[in-house]
Every structure is written in structure tokens, then in C-alpha cells.
Amino acid sequence: MEESFDAAIVGAGPAGISAACILADANAKVIVLERGEYPGSKNMFGGVLYGGHLRLIIPDYARRNCPIERNIVESRLLYLTEEGGVSLAYRDTAFLEELRNNVFTVGRARFDRWFADQAIAKGALVVCATVVTDLLRDAAGRVIGVKTDRAEGELRAKVVLLADGVNSPLAARTGFRPEVRSENIALAVKEMISLPEEAIDERFGVTDGNGVTNEILGNVTWGMNGVAFLYTNRNSLSIGIGANLADFAKAKVRPYEMLEKLKIHPLIAPLIKGGKPREYTAHWLPEGGYDTMPKLFGDGYLIAGDSAMMFNTLHREGSNMAMASGRLAAETILEAMGKKDFSAACLQNYVRKLQKSFVLKDLKKYRRFPSFLENHQELFTALPRAASIAAREMLTVDQLPKKARQTLAWKSIRGQVPRLRLLRLLWDAWRSVR
């Protein structure tokens, strides 16, 4: 028997559940279809969320016992070689008070379940262990619902929101988004390491449920275009590493091998010492940027979050774009319901909303950044070595005067990266973020 809904959402991640909450708040009849056994069972990310975006969807999320692990008060950037590296950190007491929970860590399985429960409490129907195999269309080709792998599993809907991730088989199968190319995707692996809360507080210099994020660059990715991270949770650490999928294929490197080597790095090993591995996951990230985004709307459908390739590669932001795009998609659907018009002409208001928001503004601003990384391998090979050698020269205290030390530091940089290549790198870097 067919059942009809105002909106059918494919995927119970941040984008899909954000949309479900907004729609349910407005008394729309909405269903969320999730292929995992429960929300979050198939989802992985580094581990940070953004309170300002969640607050627009669940204003009192803290009072509703959102499973926050740690409020982030310090962000560190590490640029590593095999022997050591250079680090830069920023900490501010503002993140203890007025900006508390600006960024916080979560476990995806716990958070996604909690988030879905909020949508259910508002009136949304969340159905798990259900695969959407295709879209229903009318004679004119307009999307009018979904087909699932359940018996008699056809569902009618005025609008379908595709929010089932970068490796969405549905988006590719339906032709709404071309098959994603390997050079536009990163493969990341992550391990959860159990540590007592007191040990984490001591090692990272925090207390009272506060924490630290570490973004890690350099030759830890074995010369490939990639990044690593180390985040603090309540009584565990999230450590992970990823690189461009095409680079993995060329180098024939196994991700878990990189992760194991990262764990014994002299700057990382003391931070995770004595910890016990608890969980291992892997995930694809959409790193192609603005120029790889598909058309975001059509007759009877919208695309949001990772499915729409919404990811800020420079700032490592994706969950905020997912929540924002899900919220804006829901607002567009509600407007369409008021007009009783679910055509592409009406649903294109979704793109107008995205253009006014930070989502498309940021993606446009950094549209050249993915190609900048791809074209400058020295960022992951020679440059971290040059920075480390130069720092070592400047910090060595002996009989040489400082001017001589500066000359040696500069020679070490030029020895790793020729002057013209360095100038080209700086020029391309500026163009990619201006």
C-alpha cells in the first residue's frame, strides 16, 4: 500500500535530520529513510560540530542533553616531519564563557541517534535499515516519491531531499549527480583510543569538560595530498588520517599503515600513550569543492550536505554546511508547500538561500584551493622538512651569531624548495584563498 508524505528525506545524517526537524516543527508530514541499522551506524567524521548552526535547529540543545564530549577552547596546527615539526596554537578564554560550544567534539553514533530522536519527538518518522533503491517519477519525469527495498516499499512525497552522503548510490544512479571522480574524494580512517579523563586533562592542559583539536599536516601523509587530526573527547581521543583517493591508488598505500605510523610519531605518541584502541572506522570526504557540485534542485527534489559535495577543504568544515543546507532545504520545501508548487522553478529558491548564506560564499571563495593542493606536492614533502630545518637552525644556540643562523635557515629552505618554486607556491596559495 502506498503512503504519501510532504517530504521524504534520504539519509539520517546532519543534513537530513536538520531538514526533518525544521519540517516537523512546521507540522509537515516527513519521513527520513536511513540505510543503517540506526542513525550514525554508517557515519564517520573527525568529531567536531558547531554550536551556532545546531542552535538554529535545536535552540536548547544543551538542555536536551546533546551528547557533547568536550567544548573546544584551543586549536592547534602541527606541520610535521618524521623527526619532529612546527606547531601553532590558539587558545582564548572567550570559548569558556560567551563562545562556549562554538566548536565541540561528539561521537557520531551517539550524536546522530540523539539528533534523530529530536526529530522524532517533533513528529518526524525515521525508518532505519531501509535502502532507497530509486526515485518515483510521473509521466513528465517529475520526482514524486521513492522506491525502497522493503515489501510494498513505494512512498509518495511532494518533495524528495537527497542527503545520503558523498558515496550516495542513489544520486549517481538517478543521474542527478555524476559519478564522483577519485581525485575529488578523500579517504579517511579514524581510531578511537580510550584514555582516562584525568589523563586527557593533564596532557592537553584543560579542565571542566574543555578540550583541544589538533590539525596535522606534512609528510605524515607520505607525500600525498592529505591531512591528519587528533581530537579530545571526554574519555577518549579521536585520531585519524586521510588523503586523496586517487593518490592512494597511485601510491598503493594502505590507510591503516599511515595511521599506525602517525601513532608512533614523536609528537603524537606521548599524547596517546597508554590508550586502548576502541573503534576503527573509515569515511569518504567530498573535497572537490565548488566546481564539483551537482545541480542542487529539480522538479520534486533537492540535494544537500555531502551528497551535494559541500565541504570546505581549507577549514575542514562539512557538518556545519550539512546542517545549514538541510535547514535551508526545509525552509524552501515549506515555502513550496504554501504555494503548492514543487517544480524546479519554485525549488530553485533553495539555491538563492544558499547563495545568501555562508555555504556557497565560502565554497566559491575557496574553489581554487583543492587544485592548489593537488598541484603543490611539496606541501607534503619538501616544505615541512624545510620549515623544520629552518626552525632547528634558529633555535640552536652556540658560537654562531644570529645573522649566520638566519643565513643557514634560509639556505635550508632553498635547499628543499627552489626559490622560484617557493614564490610560485606563495602566489598560488594567495590566489586560492583571496
Enter the C-alpha cell of residue 235. 574519555
pLDDT at site 108: 86
State the average pLDDT over residues 329-346. Answer: 97
Instruction: Return d(Cα 178, Cα 367) in angstroms, integer.
Output: 19
Furthest CA-CA distance within the chain: 87
Nearest by Cα to 155 from 302, 347, 337, 7: 7
What is the rounded distance in angstroms from the CA atom of residue 196 to the CA atom of residue 148? Answer: 44
Count Cβ atoms below 10 Å from residue 123 Cβ, excluding itself. Answer: 16
Q: What is the average pLDDT across 107-121?
A: 94
Cβ of 344: how many Cβ atoms within 10 Å? 13
Greater confidence (230 vs 284) lies with 230
pLDDT at 44: 67
Distance CA 20, CA 161 (A): 10
Taking CA 396 as the corner, what is the angle to CA 390 and CA 401, rounded to the nearest 5 degrees?
95
Pairing of strands 301-303, 185-194: unpaired
**pLDDT of res. 429:** 94
Find where cell 525508518 sits: 127
Q: Is 242 a residue whose pLDDT tops 90?
A: yes
pLDDT at 395 over 70: yes
Q: Average of pLDDT values for 19-24?
A: 98
DSSP state of 334: H
Burial of 10 (0-12, 13-18, 19+ CB in 10 A): buried
Q: What is the pLDDT of residue 2?
A: 62
Helices (H), 167-226: 169-174, 197-204
- How much is the mean pLDDT over the chain? 92
DSSP character at residue 434: -
Task: Assign 376 to helix, strand or coil.
Answer: coil
What is residue 276's predicted lDDT score, i.e. its pLDDT?
Answer: 96
Tell me what pLDDT residue 398 has.
87
Q: Give the C-alpha separation, 114 to 39, whole Å.
A: 9
Please name the helix (run of DSSP H) or strand (run of DSSP E) that holds residue 143, with its range, or none: strand 143-148
pLDDT tens track for 258-277: 999 999 999 999 999 999 99
> For residue 43, what pLDDT is reported?
67
Q: What is the mean pLDDT of residues 392-409?
A: 87
What does the alpha-carbon distance between residue 79 and residue 388 come to, in Å, rounded to a whole number? Answer: 8
pTM passes above 0.85: yes
By C-alpha distance, which of 249, 277, 253 is closest to 263? 277
Q: Among the ranges 30-34, 170-174, 419-423, which has the highest mean pLDDT value?
A: 30-34
Strands 103-105 and 132-137: unpaired
Residues β-bridged to residue 9: 32, 161
pLDDT above 60 (res 42): yes
Check whether 41 has a pLDDT greater than 80: no
Chain segment 286-335, per-residue pLDDT in tens: 988 899 999 999 999 999 999 999 999 999 899 999 999 999 999 999 99
DSSP strands (E only) in 291-404? 297-298, 301-303
Q: What is the mean pLDDT of residues 11-30?
A: 97
Whether residue 20 has pLDDT greater than 70: yes
pLDDT at 65: 95
pLDDT band (50, 70, 90) for residue 172 = low
Count of all residues that appear for the chain in the document: 434
Dihedral, 183, 35, 62, 307 alpha carbons, nearest 10: 30
Gyration radius from the chain CA atoms:
23
In this prediction, residue 180 carries a pLDDT of: 82
- Using the predicted structure, report yes or no on whether residue 1 has a pLDDT greater than 50: no
> Is the Cβ–Cβ distance between 207 and 93 less than 8 Å?
no
The CA distances from residue 129 to 44, 124, 147, 148, 380, in Å, are 17, 17, 14, 10, 41
Which residue type is seen at 157? Answer: A
Better pLDDT: 385 or 22: 22
Q: Is the predicted pLDDT of residue 176 greater than 80, yes or no?
A: no
